[in-house]
Amino acid sequence: MIRYRLLVSGRVQGVSFRYACQQAALRSGVSGWVRNLPDGRVEAVVEGQPEAAGRLVGWAQHGPPGAVVTGVAVQPEQPEGLASFQIR
Protein backbone atom coordinates (compact mmCIF):
# COMPACT_ATOMS: atom_id res chain seq x y z
CA MET A 1 0.00 0.00 0.00
CA ILE A 2 1.05 3.55 -0.71
CA ARG A 3 -0.49 6.87 0.29
CA TYR A 4 -0.18 10.24 -1.45
CA ARG A 5 -1.40 13.70 -0.50
CA LEU A 6 -2.05 15.77 -3.61
CA LEU A 7 -2.39 19.55 -3.73
CA VAL A 8 -3.93 20.44 -7.08
CA SER A 9 -3.81 24.06 -8.20
CA GLY A 10 -5.40 25.89 -11.10
CA ARG A 11 -9.06 26.40 -11.99
CA VAL A 12 -10.11 23.20 -10.28
CA GLN A 13 -12.20 24.17 -7.26
CA GLY A 14 -15.78 23.00 -7.22
CA VAL A 15 -18.01 20.03 -6.68
CA SER A 16 -17.56 18.84 -10.27
CA PHE A 17 -13.80 18.39 -9.84
CA ARG A 18 -14.26 16.70 -6.50
CA TYR A 19 -16.93 14.35 -7.88
CA ALA A 20 -14.80 13.55 -10.94
CA CYS A 21 -11.83 12.83 -8.66
CA GLN A 22 -13.97 10.52 -6.55
CA GLN A 23 -15.12 8.63 -9.64
CA ALA A 24 -11.55 8.38 -10.97
CA ALA A 25 -10.40 7.07 -7.58
CA LEU A 26 -13.12 4.44 -7.48
CA ARG A 27 -12.25 3.33 -11.03
CA SER A 28 -8.58 3.17 -10.06
CA GLY A 29 -9.31 1.10 -6.94
CA VAL A 30 -7.93 3.54 -4.38
CA SER A 31 -9.49 4.99 -1.24
CA GLY A 32 -9.14 8.43 0.25
CA TRP A 33 -10.84 11.82 0.34
CA VAL A 34 -11.02 15.15 -1.51
CA ARG A 35 -11.79 18.66 -0.29
CA ASN A 36 -11.63 22.25 -1.51
CA LEU A 37 -9.16 24.55 0.22
CA PRO A 38 -9.92 28.26 0.86
CA ASP A 39 -7.05 29.32 -1.43
CA GLY A 40 -8.66 27.66 -4.48
CA ARG A 41 -6.59 24.49 -4.49
CA VAL A 42 -8.02 21.02 -4.10
CA GLU A 43 -6.50 18.61 -1.58
CA ALA A 44 -6.82 14.87 -2.12
CA VAL A 45 -5.43 11.97 -0.16
CA VAL A 46 -5.32 8.63 -1.98
CA GLU A 47 -4.25 5.26 -0.72
CA GLY A 48 -3.95 1.94 -2.50
CA GLN A 49 -1.62 -0.26 -4.48
CA PRO A 50 1.23 1.77 -6.06
CA GLU A 51 0.03 1.26 -9.64
CA ALA A 52 -3.54 2.29 -8.81
CA ALA A 53 -2.45 5.33 -6.82
CA GLY A 54 -0.13 6.30 -9.68
CA ARG A 55 -3.06 6.19 -12.12
CA LEU A 56 -5.00 8.64 -9.96
CA VAL A 57 -1.99 10.96 -9.68
CA GLY A 58 -1.77 10.91 -13.49
CA TRP A 59 -5.48 11.67 -13.76
CA ALA A 60 -5.16 14.60 -11.33
CA GLN A 61 -2.43 16.15 -13.48
CA HIS A 62 -5.00 16.60 -16.26
CA GLY A 63 -8.29 16.66 -14.37
CA PRO A 64 -11.76 16.40 -15.87
CA PRO A 65 -12.94 18.47 -18.84
CA GLY A 66 -13.25 22.12 -17.85
CA ALA A 67 -10.54 21.99 -15.19
CA VAL A 68 -7.32 23.89 -15.75
CA VAL A 69 -4.68 22.14 -13.66
CA THR A 70 -1.54 24.25 -13.30
CA GLY A 71 0.27 22.04 -10.80
CA VAL A 72 0.04 18.94 -8.65
CA ALA A 73 2.26 18.67 -5.57
CA VAL A 74 2.60 15.01 -4.57
CA GLN A 75 3.69 14.14 -1.03
CA PRO A 76 4.14 10.47 -0.07
CA GLU A 77 2.82 9.57 3.39
CA GLN A 78 2.52 6.52 5.58
CA PRO A 79 -0.50 4.35 4.66
CA GLU A 80 -3.32 4.34 7.19
CA GLY A 81 -5.70 1.79 5.70
CA LEU A 82 -8.61 3.99 4.66
CA ALA A 83 -11.80 2.06 4.02
CA SER A 84 -13.67 4.27 1.56
CA PHE A 85 -13.59 7.44 -0.51
CA GLN A 86 -15.09 10.64 0.88
CA ILE A 87 -15.73 14.13 -0.46
CA ARG A 88 -15.47 17.05 1.94
What is the predicted pLDDT for the residue at 71? Answer: 92
Give the active site residue among 3, 5, 11, 18: 18
In a domain, 87, yes or no: no
Which residue(s) pair with 69 in the sheet? 10
In a domain, 29, yes or no: yes
Give the active site residue among 36, 41, 55, 88: 36
In a domain, 88, yes or no: no
In a domain, 62, yes or no: yes
Q: Which domain holds residue 66?
A: 2-81
> Can you give the pTM of this predicted structure?
0.83
Domain count, the chain: 1
Exposure b/e, 15-24, CB count within 10 A at least 16 = b: eebbebbbeb
Q: Could you give the percent of the chain with pLDDT greater than 70?
A: 94
pLDDT for residue 16 is more than 90? no
What is the domain-level CATH number for residue 17?
Answer: 3.30.70.100
Catalytic, 36? Answer yes
Catalytic, 35? Answer no
Over the stretch 51-86, which tens digit does the pLDDT of each residue have? 999 999 999 998 888 888 999 999 988 887 765 777
Q: Coil, strand or helix: which one is 43?
A: strand
In a domain, 33, yes or no: yes
pLDDT for residue 15 is more than 80? no
Over the stretch 19-30, which tens digit does the pLDDT of each residue have? 898 889 889 889
Residues 6+ apart with CB under 8 A from 35: 18, 42, 43, 44, 87, 88
Handedness of CA 9, 13, 16, 21 (dihedral sign): positive
What is the predicted pLDDT for the residue at 13? Answer: 75
Mean pLDDT score across all residues of the chain: 86
